[in-house]
Amino acid sequence: MNMKELIKGNKRFREKKFPQLKKSVEKLVKEGQKPEVLFIGCSDSRVTPDIMLDVNPGDMFILRNVGNFVPPFKCDEDYHGSAAAIEYAVSVLEVKHIIVCGHSHCGACQSLYTEIPLEKQKVIHVKKWLELGAKAKEKTLSLVKDPNNKEELYRLTEKISVTYQLKNLLTYPDVKRRIENGSLQIHGWYYKLEDGSIDCYDQEAERFKSLEECVNAK
């Protein structure tokens, strides 16, 4: 994929896809966005929230970062990009749902088990960010039968990480407040790159099950 191909892609979008969206986009421009969902996903180029959920512009407020991590709330005036997106979605847009979506073959989760060389401080922020996966790694190692089975190790880490990110969401005052008053729900999802299917986390049963099972159970 090069720049020329991206430019051609935009041309195709404007000619074929945008005309179908024109009316709804004009309404969004005039009235502003009112998404009901905050989707927190990984920056991995293979994860495509709009495509895999078949949604339109205005349907979801999307936050993507390395590993779909949720940093715990920190009350200071430093720069917090992910926290700012969460606060904006919850307190300004007043979304009704937050989805934390992990995925299979996540490079961030795999990196928890490998040492990243820190040549000339090139990835100092990456190494710091990956600390957000430390608890998931610790929990996984306490559960996995054979740490040398990388397939089992990585897949379990990816799922357990989602559960810890849900816990981190509860450190945000407005998130906790709105969950308690019933105006907000949080969801843990796991997207499988292999077939496009999604599993959801059942917090009561403490296990992942198919998205269809989650919907039918409600």
Q: Are 95 and 61 in contact (CB under 8 A)?
A: yes
How many CA atoms are closer than 13 Å to the CA of 128, on its beta-carbon side?
6
Q: Which residues participate in the annotated binding site? A: 42, 44, 103, 106
DSSP readout, 21-36?
Answer: HHHHHHHHHHH----S
202 phi, psi to nearest 5 deg: -90, 105
Q: Is the dihedral of CA 13, 195, 205, 170 positive or negative?
A: negative
Instruction: Supply the angle between the helices 134-143 and 150-169 in degrees, to the nearest 10.
Output: 130
Enter the DSSP assignment of 117.
P
Cα–Cα distance for residue pair 82/86, rounded to 1 Å: 6
Cα–Cα distance for residue pair 200/207, rounded to 1 Å: 8
Q: Which residues participate in the annotated binding site for Zn(2+)? A: 42, 44, 103, 106
